[in-house]
Chain A
C-alpha cells in the first residue's frame, strides 16, 4: 500500500526559529492536504495543494508540492508558541482513494 512518511517525528525549537516538516510518498499523488492538531484537540484543515510545484502561503506558513507530486513540505517562519501541535499531511491519489494521514510531526516551541 501507499507509504506516507513524515519527517521529523518530533521537533523542539526556540520561539522565533524556523521549522519544516516533510511528507514523502512512494507513489505519485493527485493532491495533498495539511492539517494541524493542537494538544488535546482535533485535526483542523490548513490547506490543499493540487498542482505540480505549487507553493502556497498563509502568513508565516509556506506549503510546497514537489514537481513530481510525490512529496510536500510545510515551513513555518519565526515560530510562535501558538504554532505548537502536530502537523499531518494527508495525501490523496496513487494507491489510495480515501483520506489517510501521514505519521505526523509534533512541534514544540519553547518561549
Chain B
C-alpha cells in the first residue's frame, strides 16, 4: 500500500472487554513497531518485529497485552480485559530494517476505555 494503515482509527470499549488493533505495514518492510502515546506524552515502545526473528516484547506493560505478526506482514495488537489506563493512541510504524532506515508511521488508533 501507499503507507502504513491502521484500523480502526477510533475505538471506544467498555472496561473489561478485549480489543484488537490492526496494522498493515508498507509492503516489503521487514521491521514493525507498536508504540503507545498517552495524551501529551511521548512514544512508549511496546513491541518490535523484525523479519522472522522472535519479537522483542520488552515494552509490553502487562500480560494483558500481546501482539502477533502473520506472514511477516499484518500485525495485530490485542489488549485483554481493558482498563481505563489503557486509553491512549496506539501507533504502528514500519521500516525496511530495524534501525538505520526511516520509519513510517500509521495514523494511529485512538482507544478509549469507558
A interface residues, Cβ below 8 angstroms from B: 30-31, 33, 35, 42-45, 48, 50, 88, 90, 92-93, 97-104
Q: Is B95 part of the contact surface with A, judged by Cβ < 8 Å?
A: yes
Give the complex CA separation of A100 and B33 in angstroms. Answer: 10
How many A-B contacts are there with CB distance less than 8 Å?
Answer: 58
Beta-carbon contact of A48 and B42 below 8 Å: no
Question: Which of B45, B91, B100 is most buried by chain A, counting CB atoms within 10 A of its CB?
Answer: B100
Beta-carbon contact of B106 and A42 below 8 Å: yes
Contact among A50, A93, A98 with B48 in the assembled complex (CB-CB below 8 Å): A98
Closest to A47 in B: B102
With A99-B33, A99-B99 in contact, is A43–B48 under 8 Å at CB? no
Closest to B102 in A: A45
Beta-carbon contact of B99 and A98 below 8 Å: yes
Number of residues from B at the complex interface, CB < 8 A: 21
What residues of A have a CB within 8 angstroms of the CB of B43 in the complex?
Answer: 43, 88, 100-101, 104
Chain A interface SS verdict (over half): loop
Give the complex CA separation of A98 and B59 in angstroms. Answer: 11
Closest to A93 in B: B99
Least CB distance, B104 to chain A, in whole angstroms: 7
Q: How would residues 70 to 98 of chain B score, 1 for a CB under 8 Å from any chain A CB and 0 otherwise?
A: 00000000000000000000010101001
Closest to A100 in B: B45
Give the complex CA separation of A34 and B91 in angstroms. Answer: 17
Least CB distance, B60 to chain A, in whole angstroms: 13
With A42-B105, A48-B102 in contact, is A98–B56 under 8 Å at CB? yes
Which are the 7 A-B pairs with shortest beta-carbon distances? A42-B105, A101-B43, A45-B102, A92-B99, A98-B48, A104-B42, A100-B45
